[in-house]
Amino acid sequence: MDETLTRIIRIPNPKYKRSGPKSYVYLLNKYKFSPTKPGPYVLGGKVQQKGKFGISRLIGGKAHVQRVLQKKSATDARPGDVPAEDQQNDSLYLCPVTIGTPGQTFNLDFDTGSADLWLFSTGLPKKTNTTGHNVFDPTKSSTFKKTPGATWKISYGDGSNASGDVGTDNVNVGNLIIENQSIELAKQLSDQFTSGVGDGLLGLAFGSINTVRPQPVATPVENMIEQADIPKSAELFTAYLGSYKDKNDPDHGISFYTFGYIDDAARAGQEIHWAPIDSSRGFWQFKSATASVGGKKITRSGNTAIADTGTTLTLVDDTLCQAIYDAIPGAKYDDQQQGYVFPSKTSVDNLPVVSFAVGGREFAVQKEDLAFADTGNGTMTYGGIQSRGDLPFDILGDTWLKGIYAIFDQGNKRFGCVVRNDPTQDPSVQ
């Protein structure tokens, strides 16, 4: 192993407040799927006019119906826009990354479910609230170069977006310097981005879903491989996602990423289980044809799943979701929360072992992670596993990933994992 490569420690987001509905809305926006369970949030049609003339209103042009996430009102039968207070960036943890010469440091969300590297920048309008954020100033970096004609835009299911210009600069990730990495500088951000703590996002999915136009750009990992910044034998990155609940466990709940090597301490002498991935959608997607709930195996013929470090929840099909909560005493579906909840005083012994297949082997969710957030009344807990709606694949987010050490082997197009050692379980959400 190259001794200069080090762990990149994930830093807890001090302002993050767990909210089941907000995390679910984030996923509805990110993956733009339709809910199949009742609740306030729906995917509806919104007429938009593409006009040719006019200032206060558009005249001429064409109208089209855009599918957008909306919220049903208790007093109005017609759904309306999802208010900003119902949303938040799902960034429970952030990672420090240094960009430019001299380096400017940013706390970014490492996300295997997207492929853009974007930052707050000095190009944002003066009215934008950047309080508490680190803002990239390209004029203070001697190695920054603007990419003429290149733009980017990330659009979400509720119609909100982030967009801006593109340039290249040196990016330092865990003492690994990627030269001339494309970075996307925000010139416009919707409120849910500015209200969070993070300074942007570093996408770890495949470059085919990068949003830069007219031509997508290479991701940081793709450039690490192209520039031979990481060994040919280890064209990979890994994620070890700990929790504040694990402070008394052997690893003390530490949370980190590595690039270019597999951490021996995290692997703990175990043989890595590998499954081939299908990157045609741009994600880390693999076959997941079985699951188990309380020792009962469930066959899910043809099912697949993606590993998404940028998501706190785990989403599965409705049949499996129902089976999971049927195994928890007192659990029920709550229309107002748009999710399954269960009694907060549920003991570990009354929680089932839930596991999902990675290729031919199943890996379990830690029981403590079946509990995600208090519903607001102190008596019921929002579950960490919820409905994927009409999505054709599962999203295995932090709820599941915290039970394994995950290896994303880009060079060999495979996903690997070993069981994470976490002997104590604390299902409380306080």
pLDDT bucket at 66, cuts 50 / 70 / 90 = low
| The pLDDT of residue 29 | 87
Instruction: Among 47-61, 245-259, 352-366, 406-420, name the one with the lowest average pLDDT.
Output: 47-61
Token match 């919104």: residue? 46
Asked if omega into 102 is within 30° of 0 (cis), the reply is yes
- Rounded to two decimals, the pTM is 0.91
pLDDT at 277 over 90: yes
| The pLDDT of residue 48 | 44
Write the pLDDT tens digit of every residue in 107-116: 999 999 999 9
Write the pLDDT tens digit of every residue in 125-174: 999 999 989 999 999 999 999 999 999 999 876 567 899 999 999 999 98
pLDDT over 70 percentage in the chain: 89
Structure tokens, 165: 């210009």
Alpha carbon distance 136, 152 (integer Å): 16
Token match 């309380």: residue? 294
Q: Would you say 218 and 127 are in contact if contact means Cβ atoms under 8 Å apart?
A: no
pLDDT bucket at 74, cuts 50 / 70 / 90 = low
Alpha carbon distance 189, 239 (integer Å): 28
Write the pLDDT tens digit of every residue in 83-103: 656 555 556 789 999 999 999
pLDDT at 348 over 80: yes
| The pLDDT of residue 428 | 75
Alpha carbon distance 198, 324 (integer Å): 33
Q: Mean pLDDT, the chain, as a whole number?
A: 89
Structure tokens, 80: 């309306």
pLDDT at 213 over 60: yes
Q: Give 295-303's long-range contacts (Cβ < 8 A, gap of 24+).
A: 295/353, 296/323, 298/323, 300/357, 303/393, 303/394
Q: How many CB atoms lie within 10 A of CB 388?
A: 24
> Catalytic positions, please?
111, 308
SS3 content of the chain, % helix, strand, coil (to 5): 15, 40, 45
Give the residue from 261, 430, 286, 278 showing the smallest Cα distance to 358: 286
**Residue range 28-32: mean pLDDT, rounded:** 90
| The pLDDT of residue 93 | 84
Write the pLDDT tens digit of every residue in 175-198: 899 999 999 999 999 887 887 778
Q: Would you say 342 and 280 are in contact if contact means Cβ atoms under 8 Å apart?
A: no
Instruction: Among 12-21, 211-220, 349-358, 369-378, name the one with the lowest average pLDDT.
Output: 12-21
Q: Would you say 202 and 110 are in contact if contact means Cβ atoms under 8 Å apart?
A: yes
Q: Indicate the Cα dihedral angle 396, 400, 405, 409, nearest 10°.
A: -10
Alpha carbon distance 255, 16 (integer Å): 16
The backbone torsions φ and ψ at residue 28, rounded to the nearest 5 degrees and listed phi first, read: -60, -40
**Residue range 239-262: mean pLDDT, rounded:** 87
Q: For residues 4 and 308, which has the higher predicted lDDT (pLDDT)?
A: 308
DSSP lists the bridge partners of residue 416 as: 274, 407
Q: Would you say 199 and 122 are in contact if contact means Cβ atoms under 8 Å apart?
A: no
| The pLDDT of residue 352 | 98
Dihedral sign for Cα 138, 139, 141, 146, please. Answer: positive
pLDDT at 3 over 80: no
| The pLDDT of residue 69 | 83
10 Å CB burial of residue 343 (0-12, 13-18, 19+) is middle
pLDDT at 57 over 50: no
pLDDT at 54 over 60: no
Q: For residues 76 and 205, which has the higher predicted lDDT (pLDDT)?
A: 205
pLDDT over 90 percentage in the chain: 72
| The pLDDT of residue 198 | 87
pLDDT at 220 over 60: yes
Within 8 A by CB and 6+ apart from 188, the residues are: 124, 125, 161, 162, 163, 164
pLDDT at 211 over 70: yes
Q: CA separation (Å) from 224 to 118, 257, 334, 365?
A: 17, 15, 45, 32
